[in-house]
A = this chain, B = another copy of it.
Amino acid sequence: MSNQRHKILVIEDNRDVRENIAEILALAGYEVFVAEHGKAGVEQAILHKPDLILCDIMMPELDGFGVLRILSKNPATSGTPFIFLTAKAEREDFRRGMGLGADDYITKPFDDVMLLDTIELRLKRSNRLRNSFDGTEHGLQQFFNEAKAQDNLLALADDREIRRYEKRDVIYAEGQIARWLFFVVSGKAKSYRVNDIGKELITKVSAPGDFLGMIPLLRGEKYTDSAMALEPCEIRLVPKEDFLKLVFSQKEVSAAMIKVLARQIEETELHLLHLAYDAVREKVSGVLAILCERYQQDGVSRIPLLREDLASLAGTAKETVIRTLSEFKEDGLIEIDGNDIVIRDVNVLRRISH
């Protein structure tokens, strides 16, 4: 029985908090390891291969983010559920600013029940995950054509944990290590890159049904771009391992993925051409034409994006976008209702941008 007990590692610099947690967990039947700072935590994690890690964010020497990053890189520990401990005041900041690199977070002070519930939930999820493979792998064998492969990819997102993001919440950020594939259930999100002087270029606006953060998973590296919710979003998290296993072990899925990527390369190159030589009028109309489809509803498109975001999409200054929009309004191409842009006829815009 004793070797079936779950092992939990607690990394926390405050002695009282650390011992308190350790005590609770021990009473609840877990095997507990403790570390009083990040470095020790990493060592312990590698040594004991715990089933779950609780980790404070604010610590001297190596903070929680650093620990997560190091452990994510190590194949032996990258799949371990990771829960952040955060002071109440930090929480808001942390959610907004960093995206959730971890599986969950617990706000200090916490009560015992909440702590145990959260841990149990994560352990259960992680278990289900590990088992899900042996089950599905057989099921996959039946798919032999491409259409099915696509379905397969979509089915990957079924029945996963849903996480909710508020407007402007970070979904993932440049530099973080990729641990999940994100599937947009509702709402819209932007993927963007930031250059040295802080200017932002949006490379994609994702709508329900789209996947986010695929490339870094395929490359097995850190994110080189970031993603943020443009409006309240529901997003399913597919663990990296599930995605990779599906993509690389199934011939048909690999083939489908190759086509998806090839298509994306082509689109991105076309984007390059437009960014390089189009005048602002063309860039802005091109952006509107693309957004038009994504925001279509009952034959009318109502685009509620900030001018700032439009500018990042077009690769121009905010004021320039605003001026161009004013022109379009005067020409009767668009209407502006409140701050939203309303498009009645896309084709004229398409003609401008070619």
List the B side residues contacting A262 at CB < 8 Å. Answer: 214-215, 218-219, 261
Q: Is the CB of B269 within 8 A of A193?
A: yes
Per-residue contact bits, chain A 238-279, to B (CB 8 Å; 1 contact, 0 not): 000000000111010011011101111110111111111110
Q: A219-B259, A258-B258, A270-B193 are in contact. Are A277 and B247 (CB under 8 A)?
A: no
The size bracket of the interface on A is 35 or more
Distance, CA A264 to CA B218, complexed state (A): 12
Least CB distance from A114 to B in Å reads 40
Q: A215-B265, A258-B258 are in contact. Are A277 and B354 (CB under 8 A)?
A: no
Would you list the 3 A-B pairs with minimal beta carbon distance, nearest first? A276-B315, A254-B254, A261-B261
Q: A249-B251, A255-B254, A265-B268 are in contact. Are A273 and B215 (CB under 8 A)?
A: no
Distance, CA A243 to CA B222, complexed state (A): 31
Q: Which of A190-241 contact B (CB under 8 A)?
A: 193, 195-197, 199, 201, 203, 214-215, 218-219, 224-225
Could you say how many copies of this chain the assembly holds?
2
Q: Quick one: closest B residue to A220, CB to CB?
A: B259
List the B side residues contacting A215 at CB < 8 Å. Answer: 262, 265-266
Least CB distance from A14 to B in Å reads 41
Q: Is the CB of B268 within 8 A of A269?
A: yes
Distance, CA A215 to CA B260, complexed state (A): 11
List the B side residues contacting A257 at CB < 8 Å. Answer: 258
Can you list 12 A-B contacts (CB < 8 A)? A196-B354, A201-B273, A203-B269, A203-B272, A224-B266, A224-B270, A225-B269, A254-B254, A261-B261, A265-B268, A268-B272, A277-B315
Q: Is the CB of A277 within 8 A of B224?
A: no
Distance, CA A215 to CA B214, complexed state (A): 19
Q: Is the CB of B219 within 8 A of A273?
A: no
List the B side residues contacting A270 at CB < 8 Å. Answer: 193, 224
Tell which of B193, B203, B254, B277 touches A258, judged by Cβ atoms closer than 8 Å: B254
Distance, CA A270 to CA B196, complexed state (A): 12
List the B side residues contacting A219 at CB < 8 Å. Answer: 259, 262-263, 266
